[in-house]
Structure 1
Amino acid sequence: MRIKIGDLLSQHGFLIVLAATFLFFSVATEHFFQADNILNIVHTMSPLAITACGLALVVISGRLDISIGSTAFLSCAVGALLMQQSGLAPPLAAFVVICCGALLGAINGTIIVALGVNSLIATLGTMIVYRGLALALTDALLVQLPEPIRVLGNARLGPIPTDILIMLVLVALVHLLHARTAFGRQLVAMGNDIAIARKVGLPVDRTGFLSFVLAGALAAVGGILTTVQNGAVSPWLGSGLEFTALAVVVVGGISLLGGRGTILFGIIPGAFIFEMIRNGLTNLGADPYSYRLVGGAEIFAAMYADALKSGRLSMKRDAKT
């Protein structure tokens, strides 16, 4: 019985915690379970989910990118300044922002793949550099968006906010890229053992480089949605985003060791539980500082569960040999 319960918690513990947390907030608060509030949770989590699915590609390959928050900030700062000072049309500005994000991701990929620098160290350095550049460009001040753009923060298609639809489309596309293409299989092979993947002739350098480019581009898209929701580029845009997105990746069941996890059924529930906790604590009238405490506990629990899974897999492999 203990073995069965342990297996159940190991395989489905996240879903059990998600359901229990949802039920608790539904009973403990008056407005949590209302349809408008649930829709608001998904609306608010959309930028985080998009950013996290790009980071997930890097993590699945066995690497890390902790510069995505600064990438979103710098990319959106460039786009907002171009609209404000040069009158660039919003669609072109959005394109520039995404290209800027991809370029910053390409810089990360070049440092890591071509120069052989550890991904954590490399992206820690670029995180600081990118944020410094963005603060210098904006003078650490708010950069307001034009009025027609600010209106888009509440745009809807019927009853559904448009950013929810954008999130679903992009996460589904990234999921298909990971699950149904050679690129996705190469990422998994790299995450399991990059040395073996290289020996069998897989293009690990190209694949790794592209994963950072995609992570940068998707971070920029997430930054666009956050900026539109807020109506301005603030000096705090993307601050801490890299760690929240990494937490979403881990909580969603994607292993930090690489090679294991799914995008669609990992990222969306992972992002939902973090935003659900924030929303539920707000409805409870909890101290805002308690968000970090509860979020940290969730990260610890997810990493512990990931370690348990990895240990069991190792034991199974040892038993087979």
Structure 2
Amino acid sequence: MATATIRNHVTNLSRNLGLVFVLTAVMIGFSLAAPSFATADNLFAVLHAMGPSTIAATGMALVILTGKIDISIGSTAFLSASIGALLMERGTSPLVAFPVILALGAGLGAMNGFLVAYLRINALIATLGTMMAYRGIGLMLTDARVIPLPESIRNIANLTVGPVFLETIVVTLLVIAIHFLHRSMSFGRTLTAVGNGEDIAAKVGLNTRRTLFLTFMLAGLLAAAAACSSFVQVGSVSGFLGKGLEFNAIAISVVGGISLAGGRGRVIPGVLIGAAAFQMISNGLNQINADPYIYQLVTGAVIFVAMYMDALKTRPSR
């Protein structure tokens, strides 16, 4: 048992060091190609821009750790943000609208959790259905129009503590809290146990259904938080909000070392490294004026390599 534990720690350390090496290589490469890339202002801007995807990927990572997947988080973010924006458009205070958005996200995630944990519907099928339903409801409520947010909301994006954006600090604290929940609380240990074998976890007396339900609800809550972070930066809510967010979150999680097989990986440093990698690639390609479509090619290549590495880890030894 001790040998296996040491082997797991060494494997995690080597993988994280590999990701850090890749990040360093990316930074050096883009710094040589575009001197403005390595400036402090640009790096703080990268940290700021990766906020929404980092929050969403944190929720997705928890779901993946259970061995499930949630492809509805983009639509959850959009529907929650749409209702919040409509409330603010009608004069509701942001102090009321923001908690409503978060509560809606948790409720929509709870619906996913109910479908998966209690009705025993396959997670991919269940969240595919809610993905289409949630976005359809949001588009119907907003008439697919752009809803501008109050000036006070748009100003939040520019608040800083020294050189660091306030939003970056909030996102960092949130990710740390979720990491603590996963690694130090009984809920997180049960979540990992479910990912390593739901049937076995149930046989030893763990409440697997409640754990799955709460995990999907938490993913919905974090999707709504990602929506808040996104529309604060943009200053409006449109039909494009959250589109593709679920696939970005999956990519960040996989690149950050969260195994799609479930039960393996960490929010910190995994999600932070994955989010930073994709945001740096996007920013760097923009800095060198690359063809905008090449980002999809590079992203696909990075995901492929990460998936291959994960497959090598999970492949049974002969």
Q: Give the TM-score of the pair, scaled to structure 1.
A: 0.93
Shift of 1:152: 1.1
Give the aligned residue type for 1:126.
T
Say whether 1:206 aligns with 2:210: yes
Q: Distance in 2 between matches of 1:268 and 1:14?
A: 11
Counterpart for residue 257 of structure 2:
253
Shift of 1:22: 1.3
Give the aligned residue type for 2:171.
M
Matched-pair contact (CA < 8 Å) for 1:155–1:161: yes
Counterpart for residue 63 of structure 1:
68
Q: Which of 153, 160, 163 pairs up with 2:157?
A: 153
Q: Which of 1, 25, 46 pairs up with 1:20?
A: 25
Q: Distance in 1 between matches of 2:249 and 2:229?
A: 15
Q: Which of 36, 39, 52 pairs up with 1:34?
A: 39
Matched-pair contact (CA < 8 Å) for 2:63–2:69: yes
Give the aligned residue type for 1:251.
V
Q: Distance in 1 between matches of 2:57 and 2:189?
A: 19
Cα RMSD of the aligned pairs, angstroms, is: 1.3
| Structure 2 portions without partners, runs of 5+ | 1-10
Shift of 1:11: 6.5
Say whether 1:233 aligns with 2:223: no
Between the two proteins, the alignment pairs up a number of residues equal to 307
Q: Distance in 1 between matches of 2:14 and 2:263?
A: 21
What secondary structure does 1:31 align onto? helix
Give the aligned residue type for 2:250.
L
Counterpart for residue 290 of structure 1:
294
Residue pairs, 1:165-204, within 5 angstroms: 165-204=169-208
Percent identity, please. Answer: 50
| Runs (4+) off by over 6 Å | none
Say whether 1:127 aligns with 2:131: yes
Q: Distance in 1 between matches of 2:42 and 2:159?
A: 17
Shift of 1:159: 1.8
Counterpart for residue 107 of structure 2:
103
Q: Which of 271, 274, 280 pairs up with 2:278?
A: 274
From the superposition, tell whether residues 10 and 79 of structure 1 become closer, same or farther in structure 2 (CA, over 3 Å). closer
Shift of 1:184: 0.5
Give the aligned residue type for 2:53.
L
From the superposition, tell whether residues 24 and 187 of structure 1 become closer, same or farther in structure 2 (CA, over 3 Å). same
Q: Distance in 2 between matches of 1:45 and 1:11?
A: 19
Q: Which of 66, 78, 81 pairs up with 2:83?
A: 78
